[in-house]
Structure 1
Amino acid sequence: MSIPFTKMHGCGNDYIYINCFEHPIDHPEQLSRVISDRHFGIGGDGIVLICPSDVADAKMRMFNIDGSEGKMCGNAIRCVAKYVYDHNIATKETLEIDTLSGIKIIELHVENGKMVSATVDMGSPILDPSTIPVLVEDQEVLINYSLLIEDTSYSITTVSMGNPHCVIFSDDIESINLPITGPKFEHHPMFPESVNTEFIQIENRNTLHMRVWERGSGETLACGTGACAAVVAAVLNGHCDKDTDIVVKLRGGDLIIRYTDDSVYMTGPATKVFDGIIESIS
């Protein structure tokens, strides 16, 4: 069976998108492992299924390179909104997308009949360790918490934006050997569902630089939920201010994050790369 797909990215966080309104997928875990490979497949950080929903304009399911299903992806959901709008699945400029982390509201920014960027209401951050989840005793929140990994002590702040994040501030994020350091956090027993890890360098109160190690995918060029978690952590640690636009500079581009008393808002681009057809899966 041939499967049409669209390759899209948000700040370089690229996925293979499949319209499941027209082409339902039976084994997305296996499909993601095969076609996400950058040498033997299409190449991407995973696959995203755009599915019908009884409660929203569409439903998003996303699978990492290793086949694991993620609950939420901030860059992918903007691309889902673009696909839904540009393909007339829903023609409103405010969309509701159903995810495993709940329904997200997306305000579209449209030019010449196509969506070019969007603002996503990402919801309120979760700081309760048991909900993130983080295995730690007698802690209401983990802000600037000391975690010893092998012989190195890290000051971490943990946040969930529908998926778990561990945020670390550093004076020089470029010197970090992420393929070595990232897995130490991802697979640490403190994080029973593994964790996404953000390394943040502060430029000023309105600008952060970020590198990210995503669970199930490795280092990616961008992570929308991670950028949101980074700004929340920066506010909690006194580096940034609430209700202010913060530019998060990622390797794939910039996201603008605003953390308010009500929610976290993320604004960023969504870009179509190309369409194609998967002829067979081996």
Structure 2
Amino acid sequence: MLKFTKMEGLGNDYIYVDGIHQKVDMTPEFITRISDRHFGIGSDGMIVILPSQKYDFFMRMFNRDGSEGKMCGNGIRCFAKFVYDHHLTDQTYLEIETLAGVKRVWLHVENGTVQSVKVDMGQPSLNTQDIPCLFNKEQMVDEPLNINHHIYRCTAVSMGNPHVVTYVDQLDFEIEKIGPYFEKNEMFPESVNTEFVQVIDRQHLKMRVWERGSGETMACGTGACAVMYASYVNGLCDSQVDVELLGGILNIQYQDGHIFMEGPARTVFEGIMNEEDFKNV
């Protein structure tokens, strides 16, 4: 039997599992089955809490299709809430190891539970090698990209994981018809997360996101950070903005070369699963 907690940050929901005190199956087959919204628990994937040799904790995150991601901004806020609320730590400042590097987080606690979390998301990069992106320049900033016979002006950003940002006049369109063409475009050898952005004003951006391995999600923390930085570089916003996603609003700030993200984290429910039920489907 495996204990788990369903959590969400702006509707970006994952199954959280304590991998310190129990053995966790991290195979793609198992993750895909428990993430299924009809036959499983239902989620955008699974996040596992693990010990770190050098830092407070190590976070591994997996997409709905079982592929492993490097980092999840909404996920790390819920991760921080999990370890505090489950008494794995009593600290309100944590350093969490991820495949995208170490992230510093500050917990806002009320009445013994975490209400919101601020995360130092690190230094964004426009270097195409960091993304990786096979564009023929060192940076892809407001450059034309042919996607399924349409030209989009694109800016590619690494937040420890790959993002491409493009701007639209309005967000009412069928994202499922265009998102996969961005995700699997040969320009991005490790595939890419795609953000479609509407600029409301210099302090307010709206976006929809197509995440690699998951499709459209309610929110993407690293995506909101990439959107803020791409917009800042393109002269479309100030150094601190509210980024509005389908699931709610994140406050994103660019300061001293780092991106800081602040937003909510919420526990939906806790439960116990019999792993064997999902291994023999």
Q: C-alpha separation between the residues in 2 aligned to 1:253 and 1:105?
A: 23
Bigger shift: residues 142-151 or 20-29: 20-29
How far apart, CA to CA, are the structure 2 residues paired with 1:70 and 1:170?
Answer: 27
Given that residues 71 and 162 in structure 1 are in contact (C-alpha distance below 8 angstroms), is that contact kept between their aligned partners in structure 2?
yes
Supply the AA of the counterpart residue of 1:196: N
Equivalent residues in 2 for 1:182-201, closer than 5 Å: 182-201=179-198
2-side partners of 1:3 and 1:155: how far apart?
Answer: 46
| Corresponding residue for residue 147 of structure 2 | 149
Secondary structure of the corresponding residue to residue 32 of structure 2 = helix
1:272 is matched with which residue?
267
Summarize deviations over 1:97-153 as a string: whole Å, max 9, x none. 11001110001101001111010000000110011100022x121110100123210
Residue by residue over 1:63-91, the C-alpha shift from the partner in whole angstroms, topping out at 9 and shown as x without a partner, is 11111000000000000100111111111
C-alpha distance in 1, partners of 2:92/2:256?
A: 25
1:177 aligns with 2:174: yes
| Residue of structure 2 in register with 1:236 after alignment | 233
Partner deviation per Cα, 1:201-252 (whole Å, 9 max, x = no partner): 011000000100000000000000000000000001110122xx21011101
Match of 1:212? 209
Instruction: Indicate the SS of the match to 1:173.
Output: coil
| Among 150, 165, 168, the residue aligned to 2:166 | 168
DSSP-derived class of the 2:227 partner:
helix
2:257 to 243, 262, 268: 262
Q: CA RMSD of the aligned region, Å?
A: 0.9
Consecutive unaligned residues of structure 2, counting only runs of 5 or more, are none
Helix, strand or coil for the counterpart of 2:187? coil
Q: Select 1:227's aligned residue among 224, 238, 244.
A: 224
User: Percent identity over the alignment?
Assistant: 52
- Residue 249 of structure 1 pairs with residue 244 of structure 2: yes
TM-score (structure 1 length as normaliser):
0.96
Shift of 1:24: 2.0
Q: Which runs of 4+ in 1 moved over 6 A?
A: none
Query: 1: CA distance between counterparts of 2:113 and 2:26?
Result: 31
CA distance in 2, matches of 1:86, 1:64: 24
**Whole-Å Cα distance in 2 between the matches of residues 124 and 38 of structure 1?**
35
| Aligned-partner SS, 1:234 | helix
Counterpart-to-counterpart distance in 1, 2:96 and 2:256: 23
Task: Tell me which residue corresponds to 1:19.
Answer: 18
Count of matched residue positions in the alignment of Structure 1 and Structure 2: 277
Deviation at 1:260, TM superposition (A): 2.0
- Report if the CA contact (8 A) 1:28-1:63 is conserved: no
Q: Which amino acid aligns with 1:278?
A: M
Equivalent position SS for 1:200: strand
SS of aligned partner of 2:122:
coil
Farther-moved stretch of structure 1 (87-96 vs 198-207): 87-96
Q: In the alignment, residue 188 of structure 2 is paired with which amino acid?
A: F
Output the CA distance in 1 between the equivalents of 2:106 and 2:47.
20
Please report the TM-score for the alignment, with normalisation by the length of structure 2. Answer: 0.97
CA distance in 2, matches of 1:68, 1:150: 25
Matched, 1:50 2:49: yes
Residue 119 of structure 2: aligned partner? 120
Q: Helix, strand or coil for the counterpart of 1:30?
A: helix
Structure 2 Cα separation of the partners of residues 26 and 219 of structure 1: 25
